[in-house]
Structure 1
Amino acid sequence: MKLIIDNMSCNHCVKVITKAINDIDSQAKVTVDLAKKEVAIDGGTLSQEVAINAIDAAGYQFVGIGS
């Protein structure tokens, strides 16, 4: 799944979002593209809703589904 996340701008953002997802599903592979403001989550068993909630709880705003 690919999610568009607002207000990501640096490597700290990448670490926080990756940790938020991996704390819930350690098998998920998280790839963050700061230029596209896109978070790709592969593998694991995480639902889209749970991933969005984890990212929101980490202080970042979900704005849409990536392509």
Structure 2
Amino acid sequence: MLTLHVEGMSCGHCVRAVTEAIRALDPRAEVAIDLATGTVRAETGAEPRAVAAAVEEEGYKVTSAA
């Protein structure tokens, strides 16, 4: 399970954009996003750096990944 802390997400569009960015790397990824805390949890086989980069390409700032 990969957990990212992401700044700049505030709505359903943000959830879709981040989810689609992660699923572009791993179509079978399971993604859960908590807008209130800015937490993205992804069950994925994709490399954490690639996932963080994909989220940042959508215009969001990843502040930590674990």
TM-score between both structures, scaled by the size of structure 1: 0.90
Deviations 1:32-67 (A, max 9, x none): 00011000001x31111010000011111101136x
Q: Which residue of 1 aligns with 2:21?
A: 20
Percent identical pairs in the alignment equals 31
RMSD over equivalenced CA pairs, Å: 1.1
| Consecutive unaligned residues in structure 2, runs of 5 or more | none
Between the two proteins, the alignment pairs up a number of residues equal to 65
Where does structure 1 differ by over 6 angstroms across 4 or more consecutive aligned residues?
A: none
Q: Which residue of 2 aligns with 1:61?
A: 61
For the residues of structure 2 that align with 1:50 and 1:64, how far apart are their CA atoms? 13
Q: Which residue of 1 aligns with 2:50?
A: 50
TM-score between both structures, scaled by the size of structure 2: 0.91
Tell me the secondary structure at the aligned position of residue 5 of structure 1: strand
Listed as ranges, the matches of 1:4-19 within 5 Å are: 4-19=5-20
